[in-house]
Every structure is written in structure tokens, then in C-alpha cells.
A and B are shown apart, each in its own frame.
Chain A
Amino acid sequence: NAGVTQTPKFRVLKTGQSMTLLCAQDMNHEYMYWYRQDPGMGLRLIHYSVGEGTTAKGEVPDGYNVSRLKKQNFLLGLESAAPSQTSVYFCASSFQTENTEAFFGQGTRLTVV
């Protein structure tokens, strides 16, 4: 039982390059989330999905796009990376019941130079 798996774990991009971060969960969770973590700021929600084929904006969505074509996968895309997107990205998933916890992946450390 892998839980939430993020790919890749580390990546260095040049400004203007694009990339996709993959999140996969094997717990049959309906809800999935992408957060970014910056020093001293906790985690901020980028985008989330409440089911296959649905996506919605979170607190800091600018510069990112997402897709949820399959229930178990949630992709985060950077079309034109900027140094301000240097961060650690975390994917999480949860059941749709109200009082339930979120399960997090191990994170992707992205550096944009």
C-alpha cells in the first residue's frame, strides 16, 4: 500500500521551461490537493479536485494548471516556470467525508533558476 506517491522528488528547471508533477494515490480517495510550502509560510493550497474530471482554484493558483483525468491521479503543470515557483510541492488526498484526515506525499523539491 503506497499511499500518496509524487513524481519526481527533485527537479531543477530553467526560467521559462515547463514541467508536470504527478501525484498518484491508491486509497480510492475522492478529494485531491496540491500545496506549496515555502519557508515560514506553512502550506498554501494551489488547486484541488473533488472528483475525477473536476478541478478548482485554491489560494495561489496563478502560473499553475491541473488535471484529474483519472480518479487516482492529479497532475500539476507549470507552463512557463518562474523563480518565484521555487518551492516544495506536496500532493494530498482524502475521503469526502467531513471529519477525515488528509494523506500527504513525500514532496517534490523544485528549483527554478
Chain B
Amino acid sequence: SQQGEEDPQALSIQEGENATMNCSYKTSINNLQWYRQNSGRGLVHLILIRSNEREKHSGRLRVTLDTSKKSSSLLITASRAADTASYFCATKTDSWGKLQFGAGTQVVVTP
């Protein structure tokens, strides 16, 4: 069973617009991570937010975490065509580093 579920499944925006995607999970977590996957490639880590953090920034990325609602959001500001990819949230729930992934949000940014 999947721990995380992303919403929406797909998102199409124009360059310069902001992209927001959400992730909901089921059980308590140690941290939540967001990854990007370009077509046909491996996953690349974007940002990690710990369970005791509420918001984190990295460049054009902003991640929020609401543990009371078991949800997180990823905001990409001023999107570029190069941001076209699938984005996955992953939760870490134990000390062995195992990550549980959602099904992902496919983002298409058109010039």
C-alpha cells in the first residue's frame, strides 16, 4: 500500500507560472522528501523536511508540512520548461531509511 498520495496527478502550466502539488500520507513520519524524475531517468532529491519543521525553502522551491493533517505541499515558483518532470513525495517512517513513495504528479511547463 502507498503511504503517500499526490494531488493532482497531472498539471499543465505556462512558463513563469507557479506550480503547486500536494501530498497526503497515512502514518506518522520522521521526515518527508520530494524527488523529481525526468522522463526515462532516475529520481533526484529536491528537498527534505523534518517532522518538526513546518516550512522549508530551497531556491524556487517551497515545501510545507502539516503533521496534524498528514499533508505536505511543494510549490515551484516562476516555472521553467526545464521543470517539466514527475514529482514524487516520499515519507520516511523508520530508522532504516526506507522511503514510501506516492504515485507522483506529472508537471508539464510549456514555453
Contacts and interface: CB of A to CB of B under 8 A. Distances in A.
Contact of B103 (A42, A50, A92, A98): A42
Which of A4, A42, A103 is packed against the most chain B CB atoms within 10 Å? A42
Contacts of B96: 31, 48, 50, 56
A101 B2 contact: no
A77 B85 CA distance: 30
Contacts, number: 69
A2 to B, nearest CB: 13
Interface in B28-56: 30-31, 33, 35, 40-45, 48, 50
Interface in A68-113: 90, 92, 94, 96, 98-107
Contact of B100 (A40, A45, A100, A106): A45
Nearest to B86: A42
A107 B103 CA distance: 17
B104 A42 contact: yes
B42 A104 contact: yes
B11 interface: no
Given A99-B31, A102-B45, A107-B41, A42 B98 contact: no
Interface size class on chain B is 20 to 34
A90 B43 contact: yes
A106 B30 CA distance: 26
Interface string B89-107: 0101001111111111000
B88 interface: yes
A104 B36 CA distance: 11
B30 A42 contact: no
Contacts of A107: 40-42
Nearest to A106: B42
Contacts of A50: 96-97
Interface of A: 4, 31, 33, 35, 40-45, 48, 50, 56, 58-59, 90, 92, 94, 96, 98-107
